[in-house]
Chains A and B, each alone.
Chain A
Amino acid sequence: MSILLPILLALACAPLAYVAGRWRTGAAAWVGASGALAALGVLAHGWTQGPARVVLPWAPTWGLSLEFTRDGLSGLYAAMALGVGALVVVYSRAYLPHHLAEEGRSPREEVRFHELLLAFMAAMVLLVTVDDLLLLFVALDLTTIVSYLLIGFDREDPESRAAALLSLVLTGATSVVFFAGAMTLGLQYGTFSLPLVIERAASNPASTGALVCLAVGALGKSAQVPFHFWLPRAMAAPTPVSSYLHSAAMVAAGVFLLQRLYPLFAPATEVRDGLLAIGFLSMGLGSLMALVADPFKRVLAYSTIAQYGYALVLVALGSEGAPLYVAIHAPCKAALFLTAGAVTQVTGKKKLSEVGGLRHSLPVLAGASAVAAAGLSALPLTAGFFKDEVFFHALAKEGPVVMAAGLVGAGLTLAYTLRLWWGLFGGPRRDVPAAPRLLVAPVVVLAGLILLGGLLPGLLVAPARAAAETMRGEPSTLELAYHLDARAENLLAVGAWVLGAALFATRRAWTPGLSRVLRRTALLGAERGYRLLLHLLDRLSTWLHEKEVRDLRDRVASVLVPTGLLGIAVLGVTPLRARFMVGTVGWADVTLVMALAFASAAALATLRAKGHLMLVLLISCVGFSLAMVFAFAAAPDVALTSVLVETTFTLLFAGLLALLPEARLRRAQKESQKPRGRDRLAAGVAGASAFLLSWSALSHLQAERVGQRTVELAEAAHSPNVVAAVLTDFRGLDTVGEMSVVVAALLGVTSLLGLKKGRR
C-alpha cells in the first residue's frame, strides 16, 4: 500500500486543485502544491523501507496486471517530478495572472492551467513507477496528451497551436514506435511484466529490431537528433510549462525509459554505439545552437537538447552516473527557465539582445540564477560539478577521442551558460521594477538545493547508488567527493572551464560566422525533411479527397471493386480440396428453383425499370419471390417475417414516392444517364466475387451443425418452435442487439421526418 500511496496522492492533486479552484481561483495552486509535497513526503518515507513491488490483477486471463515498483530509479525520478512540480505550480500562481491578463483571457483559466500541470505530474509519476511494458506505453502517451494541452495553452496564438501539434505528432509517433518494440518484446518473452522480461532476456537477448524501436520512442521523447526540433518550437508555451516539461519531466521521460530498460540494452553493443553517436551529435548540435540563439528560452531549449545528449552518452556507456546526471540537471535547468520567465514578466522582453544589466534591479534573482548557471556548467561547490564528474569518469575509460569530444561539449556548455547569464544580468545597468517575491522564491529554493548538493555531496550518494543499482542490476560503487589531484576527471574539467571561458571572452569574433554556418546547415536538417513530408502528405490527402468526393459512384466502386478482386484472389490462393460442388437438384427442389428464377428475373428487370413506381413494385417482387423461396426451403418463420417486412416496406416506399415532388422525380428519372461502362464492370466484378465466394462457402458446409445441438436443447427450453428458442433463449443477446438497431433506426426515421421544412 505504501507503494501506491504517493501515486494515488499525485493522481488526486489535479482533482483537488479543481475543487479548490471552484471555491477560489488562487487556492488551486496552493492545494495542488501541497498535494505534491505530501506525495513527496510519503514517497520519502516509503523510500526508507527499501525497494518493493505490488502487483494488482487486471485481466488475468490475458496475463495482464497492474504492476508498480518502488526502487532507486522510480524514487529518484518521482521525487524530481513531484518536487519540481510543486515549485513550478507555486511559481505559476504568480506568473499566470499576469500572463492571462496580457493575453486578454479570463483569470479563471489559471485553474485549468494548474490542473493540467498537476495532471502532467501525475502522468509522470505513473510513468516512473509502473513496472510493465504496456503500462509504460500508456503512461508515456498520457504525458504526450497532457503536454499537447499544456504547450497549446495559449490557444489563441497560432504559433503555440502549431508547436503543440508538432510536439504531439513527433512524440506521439515515436511512442507508437516504442509500442511496437514493447509488443515485440511481449511476444518474444510471453509477458509484459518488466522484471520477468529482464530475467528472460538474460538467457535470450532481445532482438535488435525491438531495441531500436524502444530507443526511437525514447529519443523522440528526449528531443534527441533527429527528433530534436520539436523542443525549441515548444518554447511558445507559457514559461512554467517549459521549465517543468523541458527540464524535469517530459524530456527526462525518454532517458528514463532507456535507464529503466537498460538491462535489455546492455548486451546489444551495436545499438548502444548508435545511441552514443546520437548523444554526441545532440550534444554538439544543441550546444552550438545555444551559443547563437537570441531568445533566451531558445538558448535553454537547445541547452536541454545538449544536456540530454550527455545523459544519453552516459546510458550508452552503461555508466552508473546516468540517473544522477538527469537528477542534477533538472533543478539547474528548471531554475534557469523560471529565471527567464521572471525576466520576461518584469521587462516584457524575450530576447538576449533586448535585455541586460538587470543585476542591480533583481539582485536576488541574479544571485540565485548564477548558482543555477554554475550548476549547469558544472562549477565546483554546486551539485552540477558532480554531474560532469560522473560524465568525465565514464569517458575516461573510453579513450582520448571520446574524452576530447566530452571536453569540447562541456566547454561549450560553460560558454553558452555564461553568455546567457551575462546577457540577462551583466552589462550596463538597466533599471526595471522589482519582480514579485513568489516568482523569485522557487528559483531561490532550487539554487539552495543545488548549493546543498555541492557542499554536502554525501547526501547525493545514496539515491544515486540506488538508482544506478536499479538501472544496471548490480551493486554500485559510485563515489562523490572533491579530489585535489591530477586525475583525468579533474584535468578534463579544468580544460573545459578554460575552453568555455576562452570561448566566452572571444564571442564577438566567432558569433556571426557560426550563426551563418548553422543557418546554412539548417536547410539540410531534419526539420526541413519533416516539413516536406508533411506538405507532401497534405497534398496527397487533398488529392485523394477531391478524387473521392467528386462522385459518389467512384467512392462506392473504389471500395467494392478492390474488395471483389481481393475475394477472388483469396479463392485463388486458398488450397481447398473439392473447392466447388454443383450439388443435386431433386424433384422436391423444382419449386425452389422456380422461385429463385422468379427473384432473379425481377432483380434483372429492376435495372431496366423506367418509372419509380415500377421500380418499387419490382423490388417488392424480388422480396416476395425470396419469401416464397424461404417457404419452399422449409423455413416458415423466415418466410412469414419476410412477407410481413416486404409488405410494410413496399407501403413505406410508395409513401415516400408520394412525399417526393412529382416533377423532381420525373426530372431525376430523365437525367439519370446511361450506365457507364465501368459501372457495369464494377458490378460484374462484385457480383462474380460474391458468386464465387458463396459458392465456395456453400460447398464446404460441415455435416456437423450447431443447429442439431440446438434442436436437442430446445426441449429444455420448453419451446416446440426451435427458431423461437434460438432467438429468445440461445441467442438472446443477438436479439437485444437487433431490437436496439430497430429502435435506433425508427427514432432516426421519426426525427428526420419530424424536422421542419427548410431546416438542415
Chain B
Amino acid sequence: MTSQLPKPVIDSDSRPFWEGLKRRELWIQKCDACQQAIFYPRLLCPHCFSEQVSWVRATGRGEIYSYTVVHRAFGPFAEQTPYVVAIVELEEGVRMMTRIVGDRADIAIGKPVMVTFEQIDDELTLPYFALCSSLSTGNGGNES
C-alpha cells in the first residue's frame, strides 16, 4: 500500500479512534443519555444533543450494508484497482466506510464481516473488514 494516500488530520474528536486502531482495537462512542452508539466521534450526541458521550470498544463484528468494486480511481488509488470499498454496519448499529479484503466473488450485501487492521505506516492504521468465513488466521479480530 502506498503511503501517498490522503492522511487523516487527527483532531481532539478523533484521536482516541486513531490511537485505538494503532493498538489494533476499534473504538466508537456511546451516548450516556440516550444509550445510542455514535460514529464518527464528536463532541455531543447527534441523536439527543447530550454532551455525555463515552468511548466504548466495538466488538468489530458487523455486516456489509453496501459495497462497490472500484475499477477507475485517481491519484494514489489508481494502481490498486480493482478494489472493494464498502459501508459496514457494526452490530452496535453505526455504519462506517471501509475496505473489504478477501475473495471478491464471495462479497455480498448482508454478509457478516469482522474488523481487521491495515497498518499503513507507524502513524496510521486503517480499519478494514474481512468476510467472517474467510477469517481463518484471526488476523486482527478482537472478540477475544
A and B pair up: no
Where the two chains meet, the residues of B that have a C-beta atom closer than 8 Å to any C-beta of A are none
